[in-house]
Each structure stands twice: as structure tokens, then as C-alpha cells.
Chains A and B, each alone.
Chain A
Amino acid sequence: MVLAAASHALSYFQAVVIGLLQGVTELFPISSLGHSVVIPKLLGWDSLAKAQSQSESFYLAFLVALHVGTAIALLVYFRKEWYGIIGGFFTSIAKRRIETPDERLAWLLVVATIPAGITGLLLEHELRTVFAKPLAAAVFLMVNGLMLLAGDRYRRRAEVRELVRTHASTESETEVGRRLDTLDFKESVAVGVAQIGALFAGISRSGITMIAGLARGLDHEDAARFSFLLATPIIFGAGLIKLPDLFGHLGNGVRGQSLVGAIAAAVAAYVAVRFLMSFFETRTLWPFGIYCLAFGGLCTLLFI
């Protein structure tokens, strides 16, 4: 009975649509959680929209699979970086010193993951049940848009240019930025703390961490790279911790849809990260800021 109810509540078509949406929006700085709340409501899939803010539902088990799919796509795309980072992590522990760029990047990621990791473990459930609702997500999408626009402007300020000037830098066609491995641990913690904002549906994890990276003088490409590397353990960890939900009673009737959705999310995420790494070589956060403001504003008007 429960199995039949769950499989009727989520069709394979819906699984593919939401999987593609999750894969793209998790990495574009436009909030996957916000879109996964707002889009089902716009499409009239009310049972899915409501299931998000319930403390237990089949939809949360389904989302676990999508997160794992997205994280696998990120791991595959950045496989060379992760090979160096994981090697650097263990060699630094063996030596008890941080000397190479890979060792430094490994520890920058560890340090930046701790604040959001612990906050997520403790508060994710509470924040989701309170804020993962269409109107709140639409308002936070507008806030996200404003932050993206403000973050891009802040990158041009004199103090940020001074940060770039005083550190080893990289130069692209359009921008000079500080090298990623010149971030210090306090700055990395600041990026990690910023990531806590993404626990609110509508605030983008990649957007907020990119803004924090830009504010410390990284160029757009390195800010995006750091953001995606930082997202991988958090998304993967969140997925793994909740995997028992998928294999428990909550997953009854949606395991097939979850597999299909996860494959769709992985493909979409791989295409999205390829596109974005190329996009940020020459372009900025402005289009995403404008989109979030417009889409969030429109949804706010519709849901009021």
C-alpha cells in the first residue's frame, strides 16, 4: 500500500525532470534546494513540493540519490585535482608539514568543510522543515540574486585588488586573480562559514562560496573551482549519511525512480560543471544574479 502510494507520488518522468534540474542547479549559483522547492510547485506537482518540508518523506530519500549522482559527476570531472588533493592530505599527515600546493589545498578544503559540515549535521533538518517552502525559497532566491550582484561588484574594490597585488597571481584573458593555494586558513574558514548560508532553500552553495572566494581576491575561474571542490565532500557526505533513508521504508516504491533520477543528475551535473568552468574563464556572476532576482521575484508574486 505504502509502496504503491510512493510510486504513484513520483513518476519516472518526474524523476528525470527533477534529476536534470538538481544536477544543473546544484552547480549553477542559483540554488538547487530553492529550485527543487519552487519548480514542482510551478509545475503543479504539489505533493512533491509539500514533501520537501516534511520531517520524513519518500521525496527526501529520492533527493539522497540525486545528491550522490551529482557528487560522483564532480568527482569524475575533477578527478586529477582529487588525486593530488587526497595524496597531499596523506603526505602532509605523514610529514606533519604542509609544503606543496596540493597539500595546502587539501587542508584548505578540510578547514573550509568543517563549519558547514557540523552546522549541517546539527541544523539541516530544522532549517529545512522551517524554510523549504515555496514562498520562503522564492524570497531567498531574490536575496541570492542580490548577493551575487553585490559580490561581483565587491571584487572590483581597491582592497580586493590590493589582495591580488600582494599575492602570487594568475592571469586570464579578462582578469587577474590571486592563486588558489595562497589563501590562508582563516580565509578558508571564512569561505566555509559562508557555505552555511546554503542551508537556507534559495541561497546557492556555489554562489555564496564563489562570492567569498572573489572577496579574497580569487578570479572567477578559481573561485568556481574552489567552490566545486568544496561542494564535493559536503554533497557526498550528506548523501551517504542519508543513504539508509533510501534503503529503508522511505525508499519503498521510489528506488527505481531514484536510480534514474541519479543518472540524470550525474549527466546534468557533468555537463554543467564543464560549461561553468569554461564560462567563468571570461565571464562573471551577473547573469545568474539577474536571473535569481527575476525568477525569485516572479515566484514571490505567484506564491503570495
Chain B
Amino acid sequence: MSTTPRIQMRPLTWLLIAVAVVFVVIAVVYLVTAANALPSFFPGHAAHVTKHHTKHGLAALAVAVVALIGAWFTTAPARATS
């Protein structure tokens, strides 16, 4: 007797998890690094500014959460067709 797995990992699931991980890393960088110490390719990098871009970090975290929830939805088993 074959059973459908309760969690199906599809390519899109892995892609969304990867996106979430990347954005969590970006969020952490924004939250712990001052603007002058950010990598130069990061939006918000400014050589003479010592404040943290907390809002950028929160925005990145929001994207990560959405991507994770999206990944979770993609793991649903396919509907049985009648």
C-alpha cells in the first residue's frame, strides 16, 4: 500500500527556503552592522554614518518570513482528483 508523504519537498520549496536563508542573513547583517561597516554593495552603506539600518533589517526579516511561509505551503500533498 503506497501512501502520499505528508510533506512533499518540491523544487519551489527549496528555492523559497534558500531565499528565506539569504534574507535572514541580510537581516542579521543590517541589525548588527553600522551603516559605515556594511558591505559597499548593500543599500544603505554610507562611509560616515555610524547608525544601524534597523528598518532595512526588519524589511529583510519580513521577506524571509513570507518566503518561509510560502515554502511551507508548497509542501502540501497534491489534492486527490475525483
Contact surface of A with B, Cβ cutoff 8 Å: 93, 95-97, 110, 114, 117-118, 121-122, 125, 241
B73 & A96 in contact (Cβ 8 Å cutoff) = yes
Say what secondary structure dominates the interface of chain A.
Answer: helix
A118 & B63 in contact (Cβ 8 Å cutoff) = yes
Contact surface of B with A, Cβ cutoff 8 Å: 43, 55-56, 58-59, 62-63, 66, 69, 72-73, 75-76
Contacts of A122 in B (CB 8 A): 43, 55-56, 59
A96 & B59 in contact (Cβ 8 Å cutoff) = no
Give the distance in Å from the alpha carbon of A110 to the alpha carbon of B72 in the complex: 16
Contacts of A241 in B (CB 8 A): 55, 58
Give the distance in Å from the alpha carbon of A241 to the alpha carbon of B63 in the complex: 17
B56 & A117 in contact (Cβ 8 Å cutoff) = no
**CB nearest to A97 among chain B residues:** B76
Give the distance in Å from the alpha carbon of A93 to the alpha carbon of B59 in the complex: 22
7 A-B contact pairs sorted by A residue (CB < 8 Å): A93-B69, A95-B76, A96-B75, A121-B62, A122-B43, A122-B55, A241-B55
Contacts of A96 in B (CB 8 A): 72-73, 75-76
Contact among A97, A110, A118, A125 with B59 in the assembled complex (CB-CB below 8 Å): A118
B56 & A121 in contact (Cβ 8 Å cutoff) = yes
B42 to chain A, nearest CB (A): 12
A114 & B56 in contact (Cβ 8 Å cutoff) = no
